[in-house]
């Protein structure tokens, strides 16, 4: 099983501006996982590692399936997500950076 330290924005800084969230992620070396397309622009401006989900369903079990597949692939291919942007859809993954 994959082991990641996860932190919820709702728990640590609910209501923060996106830029503040990116600053926290950079400081703590975390990957932002979001549906918010604005993080593509924030990635370009600040370099915060981001994973943008473009899935038709937000059903937790379906989202989890895609996340597990994505992170398993990163681990198998020894890809570091630091300062990268990933866009995950049902059909493909685009990795930028």
The per-residue pLDDT for 74 is 92
Q: How many domains does the chain have?
A: 1
* Model confidence, pTM: 0.87
Residue 1 counted as domain residue: no
Residue 2: pLDDT band by 50, 70, 90 thresholds?
Answer: low
Residue 62, domain member (yes or no): yes
Distance of CA 57 to the CA centre of its chain: 17
Does residue 12 belong to any structural domain of this protein? no
Q: pLDDT-based confidence at 15, cuts 50/70/90?
A: confident
Has residue 65 been placed in a domain?
A: yes
In a domain, 52, yes or no: yes
For the CA atoms of 50, 37, 89, 63, what is the dihedral angle to 10 degrees? 70
Whether 82 and 49 have beta carbons less than 8 Å apart is answered as yes
The per-residue pLDDT for 16 is 87
Q: Which domain holds residue 69?
A: 30-96
**Which three-class secondary structure state does DSSP give residue 93?**
strand
Question: Residue 89 falls within a domain, yes or no?
Answer: yes
* Domain contains 5: no
- The pLDDT of 35-64, averaged and rounded, is 93
Question: How does the average pLDDT of the chain come out, rounded?
Answer: 91
Both structure tokens of 25: 């992620």
Within a domain: 46: yes
Query: What pLDDT is stored for residue 13 in this prediction?
Result: 79
**Predicted confidence band at 23 (pLDDT cuts at 50, 70, 90)?**
very high
pLDDT at residue number 14:
81
């Amino acid at each position: 099983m994959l082991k990641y330290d996860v932190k919820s924005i709702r728990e640590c800084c609910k209501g923060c501006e996106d830029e503040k969230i990116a600053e926290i992620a950079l400081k703590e070396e975390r990957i932002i996982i979001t549906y918010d397309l604005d993080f593509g622009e924030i990635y370009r401006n600040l370099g915060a590692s981001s994973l943008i989900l473009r899935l038709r369903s937000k059903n937790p079990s379906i989202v989890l399936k895609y996340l597990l597949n994505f992170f398993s692939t990163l681990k198998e291919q020894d890809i570091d997500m630091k300062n990268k942007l990933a866009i995950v859809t049902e059909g493909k993954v685009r990795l930028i950076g």
